[in-house]
Amino acid sequence: MPAHWLPTTGTDMTGVTPRKLPLDAMPAAVATITAWQQAPGQPPVCPLCRAKALTIFDRSARPYTAWFALSCGTCGLDDTITYALGGTATSWS
Ligand SMILES: [Zn+2]
């Protein structure tokens, strides 16, 4: 588990209790984002419940920081993940 993963507080715009990503779900979240970037036409799969009801917002401030807001209409996932670009994110090919 990369120590630089820092889950942050998301916003609740749906009325559903926001659900945060547990640290052990971060690799799945990265895989989801990577797949989404490589196949933008495909609906992203929620890293928690596997529903194709995930919304991803790329709020990255390139080339310095990656920010991705993830929200799932099925399980209530609502979280933002961030990490520094250009260094230690080895799961990015
Ligand atoms: Zn979900």
End-to-end CA distance of the chain: give it in Å, rounded.
Answer: 17
pLDDT along the chain (93 residues), means of 10: 49 65 91 90 92 92 86 94 68 50
Prior bond of 2 cis (ω within 30°): no
**Per-residue model confidence (pLDDT) at position 88:** 56
42 alpha carbon – ligand 1 mean position (Å): 16
Q: What's the rounded Cα separation, in Å, for the pair 31 and 38?
A: 10
Please tell me the distance between residue 44's alpha carbon and the centre of ligand 1 in angstroms: 10
